[in-house]
């Protein structure tokens, strides 16, 4: 009896690697019913997908809800394990042969090869915004040829997937206030103008750029509160003031602009042109702006006396550097910020104090050993 009931999808038929596939449009409200994802309890060898990362779902759902007039999703790829048939709309001409109706038995199982997080986020978003249910998403159907083939499809679909660089994401992100501000600074600030790499998130030794756009974005996000970011004009004024004041205390940045030093030489010999220090500087700057303007200006001048050299391992090893190389972890950003705050005479937060105590405790035994050797 169940074989007499079927799903019918308007579809376009195509061919890849000698086998047919079908492209259709599915109303968002039907996603929960058609494409379930219940493989979380299986071991990886018996799954055709990665396990659902539930922590990602609310963020994607929020993106849909907050951008109902402009969100964009790519197609979901699904394998059909069951009986299907395709009925073209006509027999004459290649166009008629490709367009038609895809009939799928209701006994069939749908396996999501690519897009399970998008599907879960859409289901989540529909709970808050059910009016989105009539909108559609493209679905690419393949006929299931067994678990091994489904697993291979997943591997192939993700084999050459490359996430765009963080800097390029900032450059093209017109929704984020912080990203818009970072782009504005890269074009108007005397410190950053013409020295920002907007496409890559790392700089080669021969690059003429001093900072990446993603580094400026992270540093600016540390400097400003969410409320401050809402007022673009006031936020840009504050950022310009802060970074130009910082730039006045770091002569090497000016040397690069004046071609007295290459940016490669600067990154090789000093730490203050690296993203971790720029971000730590922004975090310290937020605390600095709690002081009166005159006091703030006075304390910023202390940065001129800091030894930013990478040879200054006594200060920066374990903070901005690990084993002589620049570090990138959140803990290292905090420890670097702590040192900048110490120079500026700023109080540490409880979290920063905890990180500082742990770092000092870890270094204590090594210092004792060094003294004994001497």
Three-class SS of residue 101?
strand
Residue 115 lies in a domain: yes
Instruction: Identify whether residues 241 and 355 lie together within a single domain.
Output: yes
Task: Identify the domain boundary among 141, 159, 177.
Answer: 159
DSSP state of 28: G
Instruction: Identify whether residues 85 and 190 lie together within a single domain.
Output: no
Residue 98 lies in a domain: yes
DSSP state of 349: P
Task: Identify the domain boundary among 129, 159, 189.
Answer: 159
Instruction: Identify whether residues 201 and 152 lie together within a single domain.
Output: no
Three-class SS of residue 113?
strand
Residue 372 lies in a domain: no
Instruction: Identify whether residues 211 and 127 lie together within a single domain.
Output: no
Give the chain's length: 374
Identify whether the C-beta of residue 360 lies closer than 8 Å to the C-beta of residue 304: no
Distance CA 143, CA 209 (A): 50
CA atoms within 13 A of residue 262's CA, in its CB half-sphere = 9
Euclidean distance between the first and the last CA atom of the chain, given in angstroms as a whole number = 88
Instruction: Identify whether residues 287 and 240 lie together within a single domain.
Output: yes
Residue 220 lies in a domain: yes
Domain that holds residue 192: 166-361
What pLDDT, on the 0 to 100 scale, is given for residue 312? Answer: 94
Instruction: Identify whether residues 47 and 183 lie together within a single domain.
Output: no
Instruction: Identify whether residues 80 and 103 lie together within a single domain.
Output: yes
Instruction: Identify whether residues 245 and 317 lie together within a single domain.
Output: yes
Q: What is the pLDDT tens value at each position of the chain, 374 positions in all?
A: 445 688 899 999 999 888 899 999 999 998 888 876 545 444 454 455 566 788 889 999 999 999 999 999 999 988 888 889 999 886 665 555 688 999 998 888 888 888 888 999 999 999 999 999 999 999 999 887 666 777 777 777 777 777 788 999 999 998 899 999 999 999 999 999 999 999 988 888 888 899 999 999 999 999 999 999 999 999 999 999 999 999 999 999 999 999 899 999 999 999 999 999 999 999 999 999 999 999 999 999 999 999 999 999 999 999 999 998 998 899 999 999 999 999 999 999 999 999 999 998 887 654 443 333 33
Stated pTM of the model = 0.76
What pLDDT, on the 0 to 100 scale, is given for residue 41? Answer: 44
Instruction: Identify whether residues 152 and 38 lie together within a single domain.
Output: yes
Instruction: Identify whether residues 147 and 262 lie together within a single domain.
Output: no
Identify whether the C-beta of residue 49 lies closer than 8 Å to the C-beta of residue 77: no
How many helices (H) and strands (E) are present in the chain, helices listed first?
17, 11
Residue 367 lies in a domain: no
Residue 310 lies in a domain: yes
Task: Identify the domain boundary among 119, 142, 159.
Answer: 159
What pLDDT, on the 0 to 100 scale, is given for residue 93? Answer: 59
Number of domains in the chain: 2
What pLDDT, on the 0 to 100 scale, is given for residue 92? Answer: 61
Residue 114 lies in a domain: yes
Pick from 268, 356, 271: nearest CA to 307: 271
Structure-block tokens of residue 183? 């782009």
Instruction: Identify whether residues 335 and 260 lie together within a single domain.
Output: yes
Residue 122 lies in a domain: yes
What pLDDT, on the 0 to 100 scale, is given for residue 246? Answer: 96
Distance CA 102, CA 89 (A): 11
What pLDDT, on the 0 to 100 scale, is given for residue 162? Answer: 73
Q: How far is CA 231 from CA 103, 177, 237, in A?
A: 54, 9, 10
Where does residue 265 fall: left (phi above 0), alpha (psi -120 to 50 degrees), or beta otherwise?
alpha
Instruction: Identify whether residues 112 and 238 lie together within a single domain.
Output: no
Pick from 249, 252, 268, 270: nearest CA to 260: 252
């Amino acid at each position: 009896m169940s074989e007499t009931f079927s799903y019918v999808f308007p579809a376009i038929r195509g061919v890849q690697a000698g086998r047919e596939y079908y492209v259709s449009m599915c109303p968002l409200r039907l996603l929960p019913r058609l494409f379930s994802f219940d493989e979380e309890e299986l071991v990886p060898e018996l799954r055709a997908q990665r396990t659902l990362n539930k922590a990602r779902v609310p963020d994607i759902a929020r993106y849909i809800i907050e951008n109902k007039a402009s969100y964009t999703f790519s197609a979901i790829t699904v394998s059909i394990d069951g009986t299907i048939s395709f009925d073209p709309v006509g027999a004459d001409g290649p166009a008629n042969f490709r367009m038609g109706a895809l009939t799928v038995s209701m006994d069939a199982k749908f396996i999501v090869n690519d897009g399970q997080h998008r599907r879960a986020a859409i289901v989540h978003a529909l709970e808050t915004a059910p009016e989105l249910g009539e909108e559609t998403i493209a679905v690419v159907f393949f006929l299931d040829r067994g678990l091994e083939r489904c697993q291979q499809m997943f591997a192939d679909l993700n084999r050459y997937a490359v996430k765009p660089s963080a800097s390029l994401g900032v450059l093209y992100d017109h929704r984020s206030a912080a990203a818009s501000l970072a782009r504005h600074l890269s074009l108007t600030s005397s410190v950053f103008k013409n020295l920002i790499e907007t496409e890559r998130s790392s700089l080669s030794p021969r690059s003429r750029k001093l900072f990446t756009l993603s580094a400026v974005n992270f540093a600016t996000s540390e400097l400003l509160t969410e409320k401050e970011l809402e007022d673009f004009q006031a936020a840009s004024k504050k950022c310009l003031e802060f970074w130009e004041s910082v730039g006045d205390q770091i002569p090497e940045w000016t040397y690069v602009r004046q071609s007295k030093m290459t940016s490669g030489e600067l990154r090789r010999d000093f730490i203050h042109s690296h993203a971790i220090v720029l971000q730590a500087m922004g975090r310290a700057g937020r605390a600095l702006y709690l002081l009166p303007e005159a006091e703030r200006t006075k304390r910023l001048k202390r940065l001129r006396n800091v030894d930013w050299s990478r040879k200054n391992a006594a200060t920066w090893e374990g903070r901005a550097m690990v084993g002589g190389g620049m570090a990138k972890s959140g803990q290292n950003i905090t420890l670097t910020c702590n040192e900048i705050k110490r120079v500026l005479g700023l109080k540490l937060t409880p979290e920063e104090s905890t990180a500082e105590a742990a770092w000092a405790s870890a270094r204590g035994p090594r210092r004792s050993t060094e003294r004994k050797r001497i």
